[in-house]
Homo-oligomer: A and B are copies of this chain.
């Protein structure tokens, strides 16, 4: 399958296709035309055909898409069938909420460890995992090889922690801290979730749209 040189905007639409197809499956629908799918998703039918053609296309002219097959294929492209081990750094309000709220296993990840530096939190159990002392992170990583870290610690603590994690073999970051990981490590994969930026963008739209 030709998955090279896929544009960033196509990649960003793939999870949305995956979700929509899951909703259709749950609604008992097994087949859908690109026109119907486009109406439900607010895209044009030609956009959808173009996007899916990037990955080899999955439809048959006149028959529409087989929903389960298409979802499974997109899931494979996204790597959801090959989950990666992840550790959570920071068991404060946000880290705790994410650990409890997110269905990691359906999104391509296994959450295998939770770390904090606050002694009062050590041993507390979050979604079946004890909060561990971040001082034990080296040993844990050498035994369990996590490839991904979820950063829920303040910006000023993030840089040395990222240095340590990269040294320990972590190659992907789900980054809620404001430290700019990709600037320092251009070869690791980073997804930033900047709540503040998202709010300010909403503010702009409210004042200008």
Contacts and interface: CB of A to CB of B under 8 A. Distances in A.
Interface of A: 3, 6, 11-12, 14-16, 18-19, 41-42, 77-80, 82, 84, 92-94, 96-98, 100-104, 106-109, 147-148, 171-172, 174, 178, 180, 182-183, 189-191, 193-209
Q: 9 nearest interchain CB pairs?
A: A108-B203, A79-B207, A97-B97, A15-B197, A15-B200, A189-B205, A107-B199, A93-B97, A191-B202
Contacts of A189: 202, 205-206, 209
B19 A206 contact: no
B11 A204 contact: yes
14 contacts: A6-B208, A15-B194, A42-B182, A77-B204, A78-B204, A79-B204, A93-B96, A93-B100, A94-B97, A98-B195, A101-B195, A102-B196, A103-B196, A191-B201
A132 to B, nearest CB: 20
A81 to B, nearest CB: 10
Contacts of A15: 194, 196-198, 200-201
User: How often does this chain occur in the complex, in copies?
Assistant: 2
A198 B193 contact: yes
Contacts of A148: 202, 206
Given A101-B94, A107-B196, A209-B189, A204 B172 contact: no
A171 B206 contact: yes
B197 A19 contact: yes
Contacts of A191: 198-199, 201-202, 205
A196 B79 contact: no
A107 B200 contact: yes
Given A80-B200, A191-B199, A200-B15, A206 B97 contact: no
Contacts of A102: 195-196, 199
B202 A172 contact: yes
A194 to B, nearest CB: 7
Contacts of A108: 199-200, 202-203
